[in-house]
Structure 1
Amino acid sequence: MKKILFSLYTCSLAAITYGGEANDWGYEANNAPEKWASLSEKYHACSGLNQSPIDIKNTTSAKLEPLKFNYTAKTQSIINNGHTVQVNFNDGNNLTLDGKEFVLKQFHLHSPSENKINGISYPMEMHLVHANAQGELAVVAIMYKKGENNKSLEQVWKNLPKQVGQDITLNEQVVAANFLPKKLDYYRFNGSLTTPPCTEGVRWIVLKNIQSASEAQLNAFTQLLSHPNNRPVQPVNARMILE
């Protein structure tokens, strides 16, 4: 049993740390999202009943605990893995959730947004991906709309790696706390990673406070990938969405 748990933990960490560098899945043609589950036995979970992203609607009112972020550590590197741009962090950024401590491993971006809120899709979505010592995962999602220039994103945009596989060490350090809105009201649901291996059992936190990014910033990311990198919304099935 311990070996199985260790294997699942290793698989999950590989997915969140390296953002799915495998080239056997993608967003277009024969390796598009609707085919992920059939591409490999490793991706069988992609056909599960508790998949992400979802359209957040028909929510249930609940007394959700306040989010407790302790983000003190800075960035390590930024990589273009062909599926997204991912910023990796040194240990030291923690989220306390359900009485457990989750460590921020990385954040990455999707355009357009993967999750929807009451049917609305946003130009971009950030996923801050956390893991605890038991290998459990928690993802905090932040939506971006077109508006004013975003100073926090500006730091990342200065170092956007243009080539697939390019990994840049960040000299100008990025503080994760700068990306969090002042108001931390949120939706919560049980889901999965939105890329293969589509591991389920992920705690999803989608912040209600929508952030702004300039048209130039949004275009810089979409042009870098040259194609959308959002998985379509998945059936909610029997899950509850809390707010």
Structure 2
Amino acid sequence: MLDYKNQAKWPNGFGSQQSPIEIKTAQTLKSKEPLDYHVVSDYQLHQEVDDGTTVRLTGEGAARIFNREYHFVQVHFHAPSEHVIDGKHYPLEIHLVHQNDIGQLVVVALLVSAGELDDEKLQQIMTTYENGKTEPVDLNISDWAPWYPVGFHYLGSLTTPPLTEGVEWLVLTNPEFTISDRQIDWFHQHFGDDNRDPQPLNDRQVELYK
């Protein structure tokens, strides 16, 4: 299990393009084109794993991202959010992890706000969860991806060791669902705060799509 209270002790042989970051909208490069992210084959989850740090679900599916084809690999969660937008943390950040045929990674991060009602699919994930176990699951989460994505694009890294760089990030601020305070509390009760601290931006460019 990762110790999020002692992140400085994580293996740190990484470079200068680490994730997550704090994004300041006023300093981004505004794109005139819509964000090219489309689910082309449903995200279907098959297995739910307690990896000690978060709950991770593996499955299959496909997406087109900047006119490139990627396979959906897995989804996992961080509470509160790892990315910070104009000084704001969101209560939950969902990572949809994609990989292409030559191993390149794209993570689509959904920044989810609190609402009055439970999200039904997240509730099914919570109900299936067994501490320390791997369980089968049959769940389609394609509708978590917004039909018209709004958010940011930049080049970064994995946010857990080995902290590999060369990962493309889409950080989306407009998922079309919310989660309840009760569901937020569930993540904190089971995993504590599992968000990596924001890393230096250095000379990277962040693009805004809206």
What's the TM-score once normalised by structure 1's chain length? Answer: 0.79
**Matching residue within 76, 82, 85 for 2:52:** 82
**Match of 1:153, as an amino acid?**
L
Amino acid corresponding to residue 173 of structure 2 in structure 1: K
State how far apart, in whole Å, the 2-side matches of 1:127 and 1:169 are. Answer: 20
Q: Mean Cα displacement is larger for which, 216-225 or 106-115?
A: 216-225
* Superposition pairs of residues 73-222 of structure 1, within 5 angstroms: 73-89=43-59, 91=60, 93-148=61-116, 149-161=118-130, 163-164=131-132, 166-170=133-137, 173-210=138-175, 211-222=177-188
Q: Which of 35, 41, 48 lines up with 2:9 in the alignment?
A: 35
CA distance in 2, matches of 1:100, 1:145: 29
**TM-superposed deviation, 1:239:** 0.4
Q: Quote the Cα distance in structure 2 between the aligned partners of 1:137 and 1:110.
A: 18
**Alpha-carbon distance between aligned partners in 2 of 1:189 and 1:63, rounded to the nearest angstrom:** 16
- Alignment correspondent of 1:17: none
Secondary structure (helix, strand or coil) at the match of 2:72 reads: strand
Aligned-residue offset at 1:160: 1.9
**Are the counterparts in 1 of residues 18 and 165 from structure 2 also a CA contact under 8 Å?**
yes
Offset from partner CA, 1:123-152 (integer Å, 9 cap, x none): 111000011111100000011222132122
Please give the alpha-carbon distance, in whole angstroms, between the structure 2 residues aligned to 1:183 and 1:132. 22
Native 8 Å contact 1:50 1:200 kept in 2: yes
Residues 71 and 176, structure 1, Cα contact 8 Å, conserved in 2: no
Q: Tell me how far apart the structure 1 counterparts of residues 169 and 81 of structure 2 sit (CA, whole Å).
A: 15
Count of aligned pairs: 203
Q: Which protein is richer in helix relative to its size?
A: 1
Aligned to 2:11, the other structure's residue is in SS state helix
Distance 1:74 1:240, change over 3 A: same
Q: What stretches of structure 1 move > 6 A for 4+ residues in a row?
A: none
What is the letter of the counterpart of residue 190 of structure 2? Answer: L
Using the TM superposition, give the Cα deviation of residue 76 of structure 1 relative to its aligned residue in structure 2, in angstroms.
1.2
- Quote how far apart the aligned CAs of 1:115 are: 0.3
Query: 2-side partners of 1:37 and 1:49: how far apart?
Result: 15
Give the % identical residues. 33
Q: Which amino acid aligns with 2:89?
A: S
Shift of 1:97: 1.9
Distance in 1 between the 2:23 and 2:72 partners? 24
Secondary structure of the residue aligned to 2:188 is helix
Which structure 2 segments of 5+ residues have no match?
none
Distance 1:94 1:63, change over 3 A: farther
Report the equivalent of 1:49. 16
More strand by share: 2
Of residues 196-205 and 179-188 in structure 1, the stretch that sits farther from structure 2 once superposed is 179-188
